[in-house]
């Protein structure tokens, strides 16, 4: 007992003699890009940051970014850094003629880099004075009517394994207006047939899952797919997988779902360019039609963070501008 007490006292004395922070040392200067990517959850955002920062540093220096080059940029004075980024922005807008959203995404990557630099104590300026381009989001939120989507569903051969999978995916896209990333990230264990629910990783929710209720048709479609594919017990495995010989069993990608939607819509005679997100648009617009423009109910269904986004859908649904134009035309 005495020996144990003496040992504890010795450890405490040793700890008190250490310089403050000795146990938390970080060797050398930080790699700010590595830290930025490590601090980012979304794989898509990581890829975009890497691509956009490579483009920025190639433009301003003719070199790919490395630790020293990034620190050199982050050590600039405020006026110098702003001038460099404004020159890059002018290049994107006037020379490359990129879309407003693309310009803003690239500026966002640079701003995120400087923000991380400030957190790590290697950058003393901000780029908040550099404003992005104005973007009209969701300019066209129109989709297709339910009768057209019914034709798409009718093309799926539900007697085959692939058809069972594709039908379940299409039901989720329409009945619950899921984003394709939300569909791709699903695991078998996220589906609860008994309670008719699905746990999804919603946009901007990190690792926090949101539970959504499913229709009877969707529950039956998912159960049919899981039974046929013999995946019902593989709770931690992907819900939707590749069936083709090449890559069989791997998690289905967003691009594969896009191709599925695009191909079936064209085959059904739909001339509008379709995608999983267009189906989401179609579902939300149809919900607004059926609930007489109830924004609150629609926002709960669509899981949009802002009611303003639902209002944009409603404006396009009702064609309010066309109605006002016709009223004015009839007056003169």
Known catalytic membership, residue 131 = no
Tens digits of pLDDT across the chain (332 residues): 555 566 655 655 665 555 555 555 556 678 899 998 888 877 888 899 999 999 999 999 999 999 999 999 999 999 999 999 999 999 999 999 998 889 999 999 999 999 999 999 999 999 988 988 887 655 566 788 899 999 999 999 999 999 999 999 999 999 999 999 999 999 999 999 999 999 998 665 556 788 999 999 999 999 999 999 998 888 899 999 998 776 678 999 999 999 999 999 999 999 998 999 999 988 888 888 888 878 788 888 888 877 777 777 766 666 666 676 777 678 76
Q: Which residues does 138 contact at the CB level (< 8 Å), separation at least 6?
A: 309, 312, 313
Strand-by-strand arrangement of the 197-201 sheet? 191-192, 197-201, 209-213
Task: Give residue 27's region: left, alpha or beta (phi > 0; psi -120 to 50).
Answer: beta
What number of other Cβ atoms are within 10 A of residue 192's Cβ? Answer: 13
Known catalytic membership, residue 89 = no
Q: Give the span between the Cα atoms of 56 and 108, in whole angstroms.
A: 12
Known catalytic membership, residue 304 = yes
Instruction: Name the catalytic one among 179, 278, 281, 303.
Output: 179
Whether the CB-CB separation of 122 and 75 falls below 8 Å is answered with: yes
What number of other Cβ atoms are within 10 A of residue 327's Cβ? Answer: 9
Whether this prediction's pTM lies above 0.85 is answered by: no
Supply φ then ψ for residue 2, to 5 degrees: -65, -40
Buried b / exposed e along 222-247 (16+ C-beta atoms within 10 A): bebbbebbebeeeeeebbbbbbeeee
Instruction: Name the catalytic one among 41, 47, 205, 296.
Output: 205
User: How many secondary structure helices (H) and strands (E) does the chain include?
Assistant: 15, 3
Instruction: Report the half-sphere exposure of 78 (CA within 13 A, side-chain side).
Output: 8
């Amino acid at each position: 007992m005495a020996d144990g007490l003496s040992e504890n006292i010795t450890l405490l004395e040793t700890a008190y003699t250490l310089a403050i922070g000795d146990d938390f040392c970080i060797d050398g200067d930080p790699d700010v890009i590595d830290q930025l990517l490590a601090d980012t959850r979304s794989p898509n955002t990581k890829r975009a940051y890497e691509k956009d920062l490579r483009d920025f540093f190639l433009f301003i220096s003719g070199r790919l970014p490395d630790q020293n080059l990034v620190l050199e940029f982050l050590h600039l004075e405020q006026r110098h850094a702003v001038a460099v980024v404004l020159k890059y922005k002018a290049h994107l807008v006037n020379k490359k003629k990129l879309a407003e959203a693309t310009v803003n995404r690239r500026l966002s990557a640079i701003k995120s880099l400087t923000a991380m630099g400030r957190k790590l104590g290697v950058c003393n300026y901000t780029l908040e004075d550099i404003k992005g381009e104005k973007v009209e989001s969701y300019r066209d939120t129109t989709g297709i009517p339910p009768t057209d989507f019914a034709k798409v569903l009718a093309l799926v051969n539900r007697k085959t394994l692939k058809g069972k999978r594709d039908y379940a995916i299409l039901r989720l896209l329409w009945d619950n207006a899921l984003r394709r990333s939300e569909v791709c990230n699903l695991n078998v264990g996220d589906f609860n047939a008994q309670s008719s629910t699905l746990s999804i990783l919603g946009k901007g929710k990190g690792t926090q899952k949101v539970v959504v209720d499913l229709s009877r048709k969707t529950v039956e479609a998912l159960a049919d797919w899981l039974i046929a594919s013999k995946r019902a017990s593989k709770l931690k495995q992907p819900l939707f997988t590749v069936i083709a010989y090449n890559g069989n069993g791997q998690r289905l990608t967003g691009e594969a779902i896009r191709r599925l939607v695009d191909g079936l819509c064209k085959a059904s005679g739909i001339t509008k360019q379709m995608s999983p997100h267009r189906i989401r648009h179609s579902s939300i617009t149809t919900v607004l039609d059926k609930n007489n423009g109830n924004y609150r109910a629609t926002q709960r269904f669509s899981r949009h963070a802002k009611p303003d986004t639902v209002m944009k859908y409603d404006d396009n649904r009702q064609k309010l501008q066309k109605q006002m134009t016709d009223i004015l035309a009839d007056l003169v």
